[in-house]
Amino acid sequence: MSYPHQWRLATATLLLSQLMLVAASLWPRSSCLGANMVRLPAAAVQRREVALTIDDGPDPLVTPQVLAILAQHGVTATFFCIGERAAAQPQLCASMLAAGHRIENHGAHHPTLCSLSGPAGWRREILGGQDMLQRITGKAPHFYRPVAGLRNLFLDPVLHEVGLRQATWTRRGFDTRERDPETVLRRLTHQLGAGDILLLHDGHAAHTPAGEALIVAVLPRLLEAIRAHGLTPVTLVQSCGLS
């Protein structure tokens, strides 16, 4: 005896569950697939803190300019570094640490399709990045950020196994493809408030029509806007009371 109605219902339920998994994996700020830090803790909000996070470096040309701007403003940031890039620029990483910045794990190689990995693939990417960065900096990263914030249901168990926390962002400027500094600045400062985690890129940065890296063009004015809102930039580690 066949049950066409039940089969249709079962098929629809299965398809819906798969669509929900796909949607969760494509939404960087989602917590459906595991813990995901998209804002700073409540205590940091009360202290009116924000976190400036910078991805995909270090870049030998762009990162020194970023460090100079941060130094001028007396601000520390969190750099989510790619392991192989950090290994190629150990002195630059040392300069970042000496200035009080923190280096966190953005994977070993930053593969575009990392979100399609199974448990073994996630382990290779995360543990590889963790080992490289700890060797270079002498500090074990506390946080991991997946490529473009994309992941799947296999990521959270690996992070739990390694002892890392996933951190994405509250708002981003899309500065890897947007060439207009005004647009990037507007995206980052719209409804800017305490507890926000902001995302920029020193690696894979887009450039203005004049040839300047977007982060270099935007960062001074972003820091001024943060100050004008009565906010204090801190690292993710500082916001969470970690060492």
Catalytic residue among 5, 55, 156, 190: 55
CA distances, 112 to each of 9, 109, 147, 148, 160 (Å): 36, 9, 7, 9, 23
132: which residues sit within 8 A by CB, 6+ positions away?
83, 84, 86, 87, 108
55 is catalytic: yes
What beta strand segments (E) does the chain contain? 49-55, 78-81, 102-105, 143-144, 165-166, 171-172, 197-201, 232-234
Interatomic CA distance for residues 56 and 79, integer angstroms: 8
Residue 106 CA to residue 95 CA, distance in Å, equals 19
Question: What is the separation of C-alpha 9 from the centre of its chain, rounded to a whole number of angstroms?
Answer: 39
Phi, psi (deg, nearest 5) at residue 134: -70, -35
Amino acid type, 19:
L
Catalytic pick from 101, 110, 142, 201?
A: 201
Is residue 110 annotated as part of the catalytic site, yes or no? Answer: no
Residues 6+ apart with CB under 8 A from 202: 54, 55, 56, 57, 58, 59, 62, 63, 66, 79, 213, 215
Q: In this structure, is the dihedral angle defined by the CA atoms of residues 157, 162, 163 and 165, taken in order, positive or negative?
A: negative
Which amino acids are annotated catalytic? 55, 201
